[in-house]
Amino acid sequence: MLGSWFEIALWKRILIAMVLGVIVGMLWGSGAESIAWIGTLFVRLIRMVVVPLVFVTLVSGLVAMGDPSKLGSLGVKTLAIYMATTLAAISIGLILAAYMQPGIGVDLSSAIPGQVQAAIPLSERLMDIVPANPFAALAEGNMLAIIFFALLVGVSLLTLGEKGKPVADLMDSSSEMMLRITHWVMEVAPFGVFALIAREAGTQGVAALLDVVTLALAVFIACVAHLLIVHGVLIMKLMLKLSPVMFFRGARDAMLVAFSTSSSSATLPVSMSVAEENLGISSVVASTVLPLGATINMDGTALYVGIVSVFAAQVFGIELSLADYVLIAGSTTLVSIGTAAVPGASLFLMSAVMDTIGMSPEQIALVIGFILPFDRPLDMLRTAVNIGGDLSVATAVANWEGEFDKEIFERPLKF
């Protein structure tokens, strides 16, 4: 029986675990909290491998690339396409919200005002890229600082030549070691996912979404539309001439884990694994583009913020002009760069964006208090969109930089 279980494709095991988790959670209710520790343990396991995996794979990939000058074009292309996809996401959200009008007829009189954590200034976020202590950055999981330090280490090994070979070989072996550990951790994924989903279904339940059916439906449609149109059709089919079906097939494990954990950083080891093994992305691109995406790319969050901002305006009878829609789109795209490290980043984004269209602090607090009870299920959905976007951008950058293996991308996977 145990052998038969491991013969099933991982994505199927995770999907089965999610369905069973919903059923058990709804039947067990709040008692599902008693197995929440299994999900917490799984999240801790995958967080455990994030920092060493990113550091050693990035250094190893740089050494294997052999040409540090390629990093400049790689970085510019990555940032440009991340910003473009974020702008596309919020545009889709705004169009759907304007058409579906989820805020019409909603009463916020019973909502308890929510509080938003102050944002970290963009200048401070940029300063944090250069670590005062690299070991502290590694210990704290400061991803941008880790990437910066790993780039310096990798480039220095390239310039040292033969003198740097012992360390380069160590990093290469360490990279293989961390990937092996990641594979072991992923075998635990179905059990962790089951516990996480059961807890959510038991403590909050899908019924929480019934209070805001139209808003939830708008977010769901926007997420699916963004994935299919922007990443599936525009990037995969038209720009890269690749099969969207093959892409989503290769990305499914990471997107399912993202859905269950609601954490881009926790999903990072899985994203890096499927990027190399399923999508044919080289280690140097995967270890650079994906950690950066987990830090600044917020496609799902951006479209969510756009929809909620229009929802709030409709609730309070604020007429939005075309200029207001443009302002919402532009401010969300720009502000998202500096908020990825803030807990509840989407809540801050909502506050900052709604402020630009003239909403008072009291109105913003009421909106945030209203959506908090059902935010978690939608957070799961938008995190899956974020991860799908990260992998799509990584595939595009790998293609443009000649770091893509089409044979691996099109290779039949275990169904």
pLDDT at 237 over 80: yes
Please write the tens of the pLDDT for every residue from 255-268: 999 888 888 878 88
* CATH code of 46's domain: 1.10.3860.10
In a domain, 366, yes or no: yes
Q: Is residue 276 part of a domain?
A: yes
Query: Is 415 a domain residue?
Result: no
Q: Which of 400, 74, 396, 76 is nearest to 230 (CA)?
A: 396
Tokens 């790993």 found at: 150
Mean local confidence (pLDDT), 120-125: 61
Please count the structural domains in the chain.
1
Q: Which residue has the higher pLDDT, 357 or 25?
A: 25
pLDDT in tens, 250-297: 999 999 998 888 888 788 889 999 999 999 998 888 888 888 888 778
pLDDT in tens, 195-233: 988 887 777 655 555 557 788 889 999 999 999 999 999
Range(s) of the domain holding residue 58: 2-410
Read off the amino acid at residue 386: N
Quickly state the pLDDT bin for 316 (edges 50, 70, 90): confident
Residue 76: CB partners within 8 Å, gap ≥ 6?
none
More confident residue, 338 or 34: 34
* Residue 181, CA distances (Å) to 46, 53, 176, 178, 186 in order: 10, 9, 9, 5, 9
pLDDT digits (tens, 9 = 90+) for 335-367: 665 555 444 556 666 777 787 777 877 787 788
